[in-house]
Structure 1
Amino acid sequence: MSKLPLTALQGFVLAARTGNLSSAARQLHLTTSALSHQIRGLEERLGRRVFVRGPRGVDLTPDGTRLLDSVGPQFAAIEQALRYFNAPDPDVLTLSVMASVASSWLLPRLPQFAARHPRLQLNLQSSVALVDFDREAVDAAMRFGPGHWPGVRAEHLFDDWLIPIASPGLIARLGRPVLGRLSEWPLLRDPADVWPRWFRTFGGTPPARYVAHFDDTETLHCAAIEGMGVALGRLTMARPLVEAGQLVLLSTRRLRAEYAHYLVYPARSAAHPALLAFRDWLLDEARRYAQVQGQVPMRRRH
């Protein structure tokens, strides 16, 4: 049997680790069809199937498991050895952040960071997916979540709060609602379905039905801006919209969100000079913002 190509073995290992040909292909900068062709060629050379292909990905066959047990540790050792030669640039920080948080909170503050650290370059990657720090060239991430992610350090930045919001147009049509009778208004259900907790806390009963359900907060806020109904908005994301006059806060009462905002990074980034500078600045900004959050009333910008 001729020598097996290393590229095919590398593709096999990545596909076995992820259970998904498309994900493995992206990491190798290949098309899914190209990687699939490599895997088929590998199976032809071995004379055995290594994967069972299904609608949700690929599963290892017993022969595939045996092959992964043999070659997987070798590729892991190579990756570990090459990390020494891929040390991060001390003046460059690659940060993953959700687009909604970047636009509403981080970007308005970044000019201050750039002025304070003119030598540092910040590369922003917008994503809602959790970062695989072992596989991706990302130094740190800003995430909204429970604060407990395996294998990484998570530093609390600030809490978020939920508060009823509506468009000026909706209020002009229907009048300003009475908080105890919010269920009589057209309500928009948020991704976490927090309205029942709101009514348990502040009184009233949830409506028999919602006008619409949304699986992400940004779209929920957009629907509220269009006058579709009243939403329980995330204060961090809603604040710029209120200050711009697109939304109105209907109450000073608010619920603490079950999740909070965190700076997340792996142990390998802990001593990265660019991250240390960004972390210090970010924690200062987060402390100031947490103080501002205590002052709920906001005025429209003129």
Structure 2
Amino acid sequence: MSRLPLDQVDAFVTAARLGNLTRAAERMNLTVSALSHRMRLLEQRLGQRLLLRGPRGVELTPEGRCLVEAIAGPLSAIEQALQRAGARNDQAVTLSLIPSMATAWLVPRLPAFLARHPELALNLQSSTHVVDFEREPVDLALRLGGGRWPGVESELLFQETIVPVASPALLERHGPRPLARLGELPLLGDPADRWKDWFARFGGLPPERYVARFDDTETLHQAAVQGIGVALARWTLAEPLVRAGRLQPLAQERMQAGFGHYLVYPERSLSHAGFATVREWLLEQAAGTRG
């Protein structure tokens, strides 16, 4: 038998690890059909079924389980060896972060950083998936959460806060309200349904119904910009809209969102000269940020 193509083997191991073809395809930057094609080619070469599709994803056949146990370890070792053997450019740094954080917080600060460090090439990966540092050539990432992720170092940049905001047009139509009477304005339901917590802390009663509900923070903020209603906004994302005059905060008080923005990186990045420069700059920027 000829040697098995590594792309087929990698597709199989990725699908087996994640237990889901869609997530595996996203991890490998492939379409699901392309990943499935590689899987079929591998099964045809071996003359065995390796994965079975089920209602909860994919399951390994006994033959597939034996194959994973045999090759997953060596394949990971090969990937790590290739990363170590590759000629690393200490002046190129890859940073992963979610698109909303890139647009609202990082990109406005980039010109000053690039002017200060013209020797650095900063590569931004804007994605909603959580980066796998063992399999992806990423040096550091910005994450939202509680700060505990296995196998990586994490440093708190700043805590996120939330505040009610509205468009100038909406306030012109309805007039301002004190905190205790915010419930009289048309309110937008937020993804985490935090209005109840807001009214419990600052007084007042929530409305019987929201004008609309949103399960995406960016869409919620844009609905507020359009004057549809008042949003309980994440300040980090809303601040650029406030500076541009498209939104106005309705309170000086803010409430903790219950999560923070963290700088996350693998131990290997500590020996990367460019990483040290970017890390120091991010911590400096975070020190001047009130989430």
Relative to the length of structure 2, the TM-score reads: 0.92
Shift in Å, 1:179:
1.5
Q: Distance in 1 between matches of 2:67 and 2:240?
A: 54
Q: Does 1:5 align with 2:7?
A: no
Shift in Å, 1:65:
0.6
Aligned-partner residue type, residue 211 of structure 2: V
Aligned-partner residue type, residue 4 of structure 2: P
Structure 1 residues 200 and 268: CA distance shift in structure 2, 3 A: same
Alignment partner, residue 169 of structure 2? 169
Q: Is the 8 A contact 1:4 1:45 kept in 2?
A: no
Aligned-partner residue type, residue 248 of structure 2: V
Structure 1 residues 266 and 209: CA distance shift in structure 2, 3 A: same
SS in 2 for 1:109: helix
Alignment length (residue pairs): 290
Q: Is the 8 A contact 1:170 1:227 kept in 2?
A: yes
> Which runs of no fewer than 5 residues in structure 2 stay unpaired?
none
Structure 1 residues 120 and 225: CA distance shift in structure 2, 3 A: same
Structure 1 residues 66 and 235: CA distance shift in structure 2, 3 A: same
Deviations 1:135-183 (A, max 9, x none): 1121111122221111111111112221111111111111112321222
Structure 1 residues 72 and 90: CA distance shift in structure 2, 3 A: same
Aligned-partner residue type, residue 201 of structure 2: T
Aligned-partner residue type, residue 64 of structure 2: G
Q: Does 1:59 align with 2:59?
A: yes
Q: Does 1:100 align with 2:100?
A: yes
Q: Distance in 1 between matches of 2:285 and 2:131?
A: 23
Q: Distance in 2 between matches of 1:162 and 1:53?
A: 42
Structure 1 residues 139 and 234: CA distance shift in structure 2, 3 A: same
Q: Distance in 2 between matches of 1:166 and 1:143?
A: 27
Alignment partner, residue 143 of structure 1? 143
Q: Distance in 1 between matches of 2:123 and 2:12?
A: 31
Shift in Å, 1:36:
2.4
Alignment partner, residue 299 of structure 1? none
SS in 1 for 2:43: helix
Alignment partner, residue 298 of structure 1? none
Shift in Å, 1:25:
4.5
Shift in Å, 1:57:
3.3
Which residues in structure 2 correspond to 1:206-217 (within 5 Å)? 206-217=206-217
Q: Distance in 2 between matches of 1:28 and 1:103?
A: 25
Shift in Å, 1:22:
4.4
Relative to the length of structure 1, the TM-score reads: 0.89
Shift in Å, 1:189:
1.4
Calculate the aligned-residue CA RMSD, in Å.
Answer: 2.0
Aligned-partner residue type, residue 162 of structure 1: I
